[in-house]
Amino acid sequence: MHDRSQLASLLRCPACGGGAPARAGDAWQCPACATRFPEFDGVPWLFAAPEAALAEWRQRLHALLADLAREAVGLRAALERPALGVAARNRLKLQAAALEDHARRLVALLAPIGAEQGMATPEMYRALGTRIPGAQGLASYYVNLHRDWVWGAEENAAGLAALVAALGSAAPRRVLVLGAGAGRLVYDLQQRLRPALMVALDINPLYAFVARRIFDGERVSLYEFPIAPRDAESHAILRMLAAERPLDGGVEFVLADASHAPFAPGSFDAVITPWLIDIIDEDLASFAPRVNALLEPGGRWVNTGSLAFAQADPALRYTLEEVVDLVATSGFARPETSEQRIPYMCSPASRHGRVEAVVTFTAIKQCEAAPPTPHEQLPEWLVRTDLPVPALAAFQSDALTMRIYGYLATLIDGRNSIAEMARVVVSERLMTADAAEAAILGFVRRLYEDSRRRVHY
Ligand SMILES: C[S@@+](CC[C@H](N)C(=O)[O-])C[C@H]1O[C@@H](n2cnc3c(N)ncnc32)[C@H](O)[C@@H]1O
């Protein structure tokens, strides 16, 4: 087993913020609050609420598996259509078989987190949803795996060059990469800079498990499903993901939330955020002070990627000028920015591909920022499953909405027309006659469109 003392010396408990988690058998444990953090496939699981995060990622995997199974059934049903051409038949067969095999491969890769524990029906998963930042699905950035380890040499090199230029001539000693994804940038940076320690942190176990294996010299076979396949075979391509050579140590993988990074203040002299600040589920105004806190005085924050802020609140979708101002008011010297146009996700198997104007900046830590907002603690009734859940006004309103939704769905019984359903709703005094028919039409249409929406895996 490799020496974990460097990593251990930097850890700070993400649950209580007080103790320094230390090795305890095959896991880690905080001496202050006694929270136990498991380790899976050599990767410490350092979420603030480790059990809840585990349940959520399992649930996400199961929901994805349920979608894959549904999609495969749809493909096989399409095969039964009369007068289907030979080419279409072959394509559908290839896709169905690939999806089924893909599901098996995901289960094998995610076996360390108990992939097959506690399955429910697809409807149950859709109804429940999960609460790891909503946008972060298990396969949200799946194509990155193939870009990083199969066909993305030009894109990877361009991204690396921008970062190396931004880091400047002084080689960092302890580097933290937040949102490390499929890991190629970490691998290339480690080979190029040889810091004493490089920590690759991501929230998604699939990427950490695959990247760790590849770093160790393993080959991992996974399907690519291009957005705009060039030909029939390109609809699902089984690819071999591998590095040119194994990495001889120096990198630690950590599964955690970058908004609650499990490290003591001042742990790193460089923090890198590649393609993260605009997709993370936190306002940059509070995320920037968190990055500041992780750096030692004079440390560097190097950011690169798009600025397509995904926040629901329009006030938080910042321009580059606003980003620079926010960074400069978070304990950093005003950063210099540069912009490069680089190819992005140009798979040779796809007719789809982009060119992105990527923004890179380096910000030097000048002073401590005003402390970031403290970690938001989950209420006790969400941590302990034996306590009553309070009937919050928001919950009651949601429950009413769902009851109405459920009631309307029961009116779809194979006999009622939209006009008849509208009459029922009016007779139940749920709606006025002038509005009912259009509303029911909209509702049924939405259900229909949702049922035909393509699953993204
Ligand atoms: C757009 S991808 C970029 C991946 C990689 N940095 C690259 O450049 O290819 C964003 C990555 O951030 C990760 N991520 C999103 N939210 C995160 C969070 N709160 N904490 C840690 N990682 C997060 C995702 O799992 C994903 O791997």
DSSP string, 201-270: EES-HHHHHHHHHHHTT--EEEEE--SSBSSGGGGSEEEEE--SS---S-EEEEE--GGG--B-TT-EEE
- Tell me, what's the pLDDT at 5? 93
- Check pocket membership of 133 for ligand 1, CB cut-off 6 A: yes
- Fill in the DSSP letter of residue 332: B
pLDDT at 374 over 90: no
pTM of the complete model: 0.86
Task: Give the residue whose CA is nearest to atom 11 of ligand 1.
Answer: 179
**Which stretch of 5-9, 29-33, 400-404 has the lowest confidence by average pLDDT?**
400-404
Looking at every residue in the chain, the average pLDDT score rounds to 91
Residues 53 and 259: their CA atoms lie apart, in Å, by 14
Residues 149 and 35: their CA atoms lie apart, in Å, by 36
- Check pocket membership of 14 for ligand 1, CB cut-off 6 A: no
- Check pocket membership of 274 for ligand 1, CB cut-off 6 A: yes
- Check pocket membership of 225 for ligand 1, CB cut-off 6 A: no
Show the DSSP H helices in 34-183 as ranges: 50-79, 86-109, 122-128, 143-146, 153-167
Residue from 43, 136, 147, 257 whose mutation best tests the ligand 1 pocket (most atoms within 8 A of CB): 136
Contact 70, 125 (CB under 8 A): no
- Tell me, what's the pLDDT at 131? 43
Residues 27 and 35: their CA atoms lie apart, in Å, by 11
- Residue partners of 140: CB distance under 8 A and separation at least 6: 204
- Check pocket membership of 181 for ligand 1, CB cut-off 6 A: yes
Cα of 7 from ligand 1 centre, angstroms:
21
Residues 223 and 226: their CA atoms lie apart, in Å, by 10
- Check pocket membership of 179 for ligand 1, CB cut-off 6 A: yes
Cα of 162 from ligand 1 centre, angstroms:
18
* Strand pairing class (295-305; 268-274): parallel
- Residue partners of 71: CB distance under 8 A and separation at least 6: 99, 455, 457
Atom of ligand 1 nearest to the CA of 281: 19
- Check pocket membership of 202 for ligand 1, CB cut-off 6 A: yes
160-188 pLDDT tens trace: 999 999 999 889 999 999 999 999 999 99
- Check pocket membership of 258 for ligand 1, CB cut-off 6 A: yes
At 83 the three-state DSSP class reads coil
Residues 433 and 422: their CA atoms lie apart, in Å, by 8
At 311 the three-state DSSP class reads coil
Q: What is the dihedral of CA 310, 316, 317, 321, to 10 degrees?
A: -140
58-116 pLDDT tens trace: 988 988 898 899 999 999 999 999 999 999 999 999 999 999 999 999 999 999 998 76
Nearest to 304 by CA among 367, 357, 366: 357
- Check pocket membership of 112 for ligand 1, CB cut-off 6 A: no
Nearest to 137 by CA among 147, 145, 129: 129
Cα of 95 from ligand 1 centre, angstroms:
28
- Check pocket membership of 273 for ligand 1, CB cut-off 6 A: no
> Rounded mean pLDDT of 210-220?
97
402-456 pLDDT tens trace: 888 888 889 999 999 999 999 998 998 888 888 889 889 988 988 888 777 655 5
Atom of ligand 1 nearest to the CA of 180: 6
